[in-house]
Amino acid sequence: MIDAIISGKLIKAPELKTGQSGKYYCQFLLSVAVGEKKPVVVSGMAFTETAEKIAKLQKGDALSIVGALKPNSWTDKGTGVTKHGLSITANASLSAYDIKKRRPKAESAANPDYTNNSANGSMPFNDSIPF
């Protein structure tokens, strides 16, 4: 297995399922761009909290996964041709929805409020030219 970080778009909406042990799991398919060639399809599996986060996403949503990547092969039932692919077992995930939750804190740090910086309420700079 190879430790990997991959990013792509969901090919179909993932479904949250419950295993025999009562824990959640989720299977998903990612379309991952590789240069200018045709995108690679990576099948994935996630468990517990990671599975719950991924299951909230929809087809076409961008998703980044950290996990164990491994090559696999199978025989196409229709043609009998051996095909090759990749699968990943997710340890963690990140989507645009995760970033959105943290954005208000980042925006307030990037745009400080200069209206009341001093104890006496004066302007924060001693410039002689008012703007």
pLDDT tens readout for residues 49-84: 999 999 999 999 999 999 999 999 989 899 999 988
- Model pTM? 0.70
Q: Which two tokens stand for residue 27?
A: 């299977």
The H or E element spanning position 5 is: strand 2-10
- CA nearest 53: which of 107, 96, 82? 96
Per-domain residue ranges for the chain?
2-110
Judge whether 19 and 66 are in contact, CB under 8 Å. no
Q: What architecture does CATH give domain 2-110? A: Beta Barrel (2.40)
Q: Rounded CA gap, 20 and 8, in Å?
A: 30
Q: Rounded CA gap, 30 and 42, in Å?
A: 5
Residue 120, pLDDT above cutoff 70 = no
pLDDT tens readout for residues 15-53: 999 999 999 999 999 999 988 889 999 999 999 999 999
Q: How far is CA 127 from CA 41, 113, 117, 119, 131, in A?
A: 59, 18, 15, 18, 9
The H or E element spanning position 23 is: none
